[in-house]
Amino acid sequence: MKQPVTISKRALIIGFGNPLREDDGLGWRAAELIESEQPDAAVIKCHQLTPELAEAISQASLVIFLDASMNQAPGEVSTQHIGRENPQALSHHLSPAQLMGFTEQLFGETPRSFLITCRIENVGWSEELSRRSQRSAERMAAAAQALVRESS
């Protein structure tokens, strides 16, 4: 049964994107793979990052964001440490660094956090990833699971 995610010093995986727009659902799909293979991690899938995620982040031991990218080399899985930024205004766009900054503002200390991305090409109307992005999702999930193992 689907339950609201409760986090208590576990790794938190946040896959975000639009699963109705083909490869933009890459982060979502990678999060699904982790959900089925890594039951000790808490997984949230969402269309966009919102302030409401701050509480769950504040309770986690490690946070990994998974997203699609159009600004990196084809085939490359990028893992970046996320800094902290102060959001300047409320809009529909909140970056991982801004969300972490907001969480820090509200709850004080925040866990280590990473952003894992992979390049995508197609953002048409489809609920399925392209073959290339299906492979990318598997590689992103593997990279995230390695980080979870390292931190435990």
Partner 1 sequence: MAQKIVIDPVTRIEGHAKVTVQIGDDGKIADARLHITQLRGFEKFCENRPFYEMPSLMARICGICPVSHLIASSKACDAILGVNIPANAARLRRILNLAQILQSHALSVFHLSSPDLLLGMDSPAEKRHLFGVAEAAPEVARDGIRLRQIGQQIIELLGGKRIHPAWVVPGGVSAPLTAEKRDQIQAMLPDGFAALQRTLDAFRGLLQRFPEEMESFANFPSLFLGLTDGAGKLEHYDGPLRVVGADGNVVANGLRPEDYPKYLGEVAENDSYLKSAYYRPLGYPDGIYRVGPLARLNLVTHCGTPRADHELGALRTFAGSPLLSSFHYHHARLIEMLHVLERIGELLAHPDILSPHVRAFSEPNCEEGVGMAEAPRGTLLHHYKVDRNGLMQWANLMIATGHNNLAMNRGVMQTASYFVRDGKLSEGALNRVEAVVRAFDPCLSCSTHAAGQMPLRIELIGPDGTLLDSVARES
Chain positions 92 to 151 lying near partner 1, rule: CB under 8 A, are 92, 102, 105-107
Name residue 144's amino acid. Answer: A
45 φ, ψ (degrees, to nearest 5): -115, 130
Q: Is 14 in the site for partner 1 (CB under 8 A)?
A: no
HSE-CB at 51 with a 13 A cutoff on CA atoms is 10
Which range, of 7-15, 48-56, 66-74, 131-139, touches partner 1 by CB under 8 A? 48-56
Which range, of 24-32, 61-69, 84-92, 111-119, touches partner 1 by CB under 8 A? 84-92
Q: Is 4 in the site for partner 1 (CB under 8 A)?
A: yes
Give the closest residue to 16 by CA, choosing from 92, 112, 111, 107: 92
Q: Is 87 in the site for partner 1 (CB under 8 A)?
A: yes
Chain positions 54 to 73 lying near partner 1, rule: CB under 8 A, are 54-55
CA–CA separation, 97 and 47 (whole Å):
17
Q: Is 2 in the site for partner 1 (CB under 8 A)?
A: yes
The residue (of 43 and 116) whose beta carbon lies closer to partner 1 is 43
CA distances (Å), origin 129, targets 13, 41, 44, 132, 139: 20, 24, 19, 8, 14
CA–CA separation, 110 and 119 (whole Å):
28
Q: Is 20 in the site for partner 1 (CB under 8 A)?
A: no
Residues in contact with partner 1 by CB under 8 A are 1-4, 47, 51-52, 54-55, 86-92, 102, 105-107
